[in-house]
Structure 1
Amino acid sequence: MLTRLLIVLLAILNVGVALWWLAPRAEPVAVVPPAEPGVASLEVLPSPAPGKVGPAAPVVAGTEVSASAALIATPAPAAAAEAKPAAQPPAATAAVEAKPEPAKPAENKPAEIRPPAVVQCASLGPYATQAQAQAAMSALGTDAARPRLREVPGKAASSYRVLIAPAASREEAQATAKRIVEAGFSDYFIVSQGEEANAVALGQYRNREGAERRLASLTAAGFPAKLAASGTEIAPSWWVDTATAGAATPASLKQRAAAAQQQSLDCARLR
């Protein structure tokens, strides 16, 4: 019995629900709250038919319009789609205007061209020894360019004689010759005529070295002998070859080097 009663109740409930869904319903009415004094009420405009856009409806100031109506009534202008650059603040504009102009590069002026100094070359000398020439070259300092020492070989005489100066008379010359023999020397004779008359000759040599050895032995024995060259003899000498530097001239270099002579020199020989 209880089971049948529950089945009947469930059937009644299903029929009631079905009748409720099938019953016609009234449209819900929106409840509009009362407007405040001084505020316009909301007015909803009817939507136009699909595919047809009507003229834009005027919008009353102070009223609100639905989103669909606003999109249909007010098309977005093309200019609004483009992004407008933000206005630059006044401070930034002032900073741009106050930016100083870049400094102009200094104009490169052409360097003053001076004519090159005239280089002259000269030989300074002669000096009897290499040491004297070296000291003269050091005295030139920076006024000399590419200085160098140069030796000039001497010229030997045709022969060399060793003799004792002429005596006042023939007898005095013979007495001197006797003392020379007693000292152990030989090879002598007495000059009888000419500028060297009454001189005692003690030998004639083809080279200077042999004559100097004979002279040294006689001098050591106490005889006043001397060396005489036959023909022209030129002793070896030293020269300083150099070029001028700066404002120096060959004449000024000659004075500084205490040279007796100054000879012109081809500068190509100093390279």
Structure 2
Amino acid sequence: MLVINLVYVGFQLTKSLAPEPPSLRLPVSQAAAGGERLRLLADSPQPQSVPAASVPGGSLCPVIGPWENREQAEAGAVQLKAIGLPGRVRGLSVQKDRLNWVYLPPYEDRERALRVLRELQDHGVDSFVVKEGEDANAISLGYFSSAESAEGLRLKMQNAGYPAFVRETARDVTEYWVYLSNSKPEDNADLKVFLEGNQSLGIDKVSCY
């Protein structure tokens, strides 16, 4: 019994003299020190993607026409308004009668142009000398609606030794149309009667401006 007590006393003395293990000290967080708390990226609100601004597409307006002059168009606008289709008259510049012109460029004087003209006519080439304008003294060889036909004649003349060229020509004219306020004029029953009485007119849609 004495031996057991001595062993127990020795064990207690050893325990009290053993040094305590050092405690680990974590660095004080910025939040504890009054700073801003660190957050994970997943916790942070992500900037929302801003959709690209949509570009409005060009709108189309219904029009009635064409008239050859403004007076006729204004009279037509009055008739259209009477059947419930008010609108405004506007002039549009358009090109008509597009053709491909085959020609020999202007010569230095009219005498030279006439000599070449006689040569061509002696060979059966239908042609004439342009009398005035920026193409004065040029020789016209013909107008063609087909670009291929014009190019064929140009090559034929070049092979014969004549420097022929092709130019697209057109006639600039002003047409007058009534731009309607009603977006669906087709629903108007009287419009059909109006167009039947004016065979040269029609309904179309053009870019609003």
TM-score (norm 2): 0.38
Task: Return the structure number with greater strand share.
Answer: 2
Higher relative contact order (CA 8 A, sep 6+): 2
Q: Which protein has the larger Cα radius of gyration, Structure 1 or Structure 2?
A: 1
